Amino acid sequence: MTSHNTPQSEVEKAESEQSVGPTEWNPRPVGLGPWAEEHPGQPLPDDPRYDPVLLAEGDRRNVVDHYRYWRREAIVEDLDTKRHPLHIAIENFENDANIGTVVRTANAFAASMVHIVGRSRWNRRGAMVTDRYQHLMHHPDVDHLLKWARENGLIVVAIDNTPGCVPLETTDLPRNCLLLFGQEGPGVTEAAQQGALMTCSIAQFGSTRSINAGVAAGIAMHAWIRQHADYGNSW
């Protein structure tokens, strides 16, 4: 039997190629264009929160629409009025690439601060520029972090899957809480676990030994959000 293939038109070929692969391969415009184009007929906002350059050229930043055209300082100031009493800390001894993901997630959940323990340098690519809006603090070691947490009334909860952990899924997390994560591979250090009120584990059901550190941080943060956040304040 002879098969007959119908030739594709150039348009069909182009549409087929464009539909293949992640969306990152086919970038689409995000954000808003110049204010005059997006809001024709409306006067220029006479508000100090707005950035004249963004108003004139458009705002393509990774921010929610509520903050379009706002100056970075104005966004941080507004976020400071609604941040949660949740702090995030991650041990960093090998310039862990997951820290960027942790910072981005902490920003999404309006955490008060992200604490970097160990090396102060880290890969910021995964943060997707959210580190410009998220408060960060560096600590040279775990002892320095634990002392800071005590002085600021925060209860430290480590997240790991070591023996003796309590299930995160059935644990009541403190409201004034600092969630502490270890780097990819070694996990939370012994010193960090000793200084924490408890160590919580995330339930797993597959064959892998552990969950990616950035993913685990997101799961734990959302566990706190489910218990303490006011959903009426979400976007």
- Grouping H, G, I as helix, E, B as strand and the rest as coil, residue 115 is strand
Across the chain, where does the E strand assignment appear? 84-92, 111-118, 136-139, 155-159, 166-167, 177-181, 198-201
The answer to whether the beta carbons of residues 107 and 61 sit under 8 Å apart is no
Residue 182, CA distances (Å) to 109, 126, 141, 170, 194 in order: 20, 17, 12, 21, 13
Rounded CA-CA distance 181/158 in Å is 6
Question: Where do the structural domains in the chain lie, given as residue ranges?
Answer: 40-79, 82-233
pTM (two decimals): 0.85
Q: Which two tokens stand for residue 232?
A: 């009426």
pLDDT of residue 54: 97
Checking 55-61 for CB contacts under 8 A at 24+ apart, the result is 58/31, 58/32, 58/33, 58/34, 59/31, 59/32, 60/29, 60/30, 60/31, 60/32, 61/31, 61/129
Q: Which two tokens stand for residue 64?
A: 């929610």
Phi, psi of 97, deg, nearest 5: -70, -15
Q: What CATH superfamily classification does 82-233 receive? A: SPOUT methyltransferase, trefoil knot domain (3.40.1280.10)
pLDDT of residue 95: 67
With a cut of 70, which residues of the chain have pLDDT below it?
1-29, 95
Q: Residue 179: what residue type?
A: L
pLDDT of residue 20: 41
What does the chain come to in residues?
A: 235
Which residues are registered as beta bridge partners of 178?
Answer: 87, 156
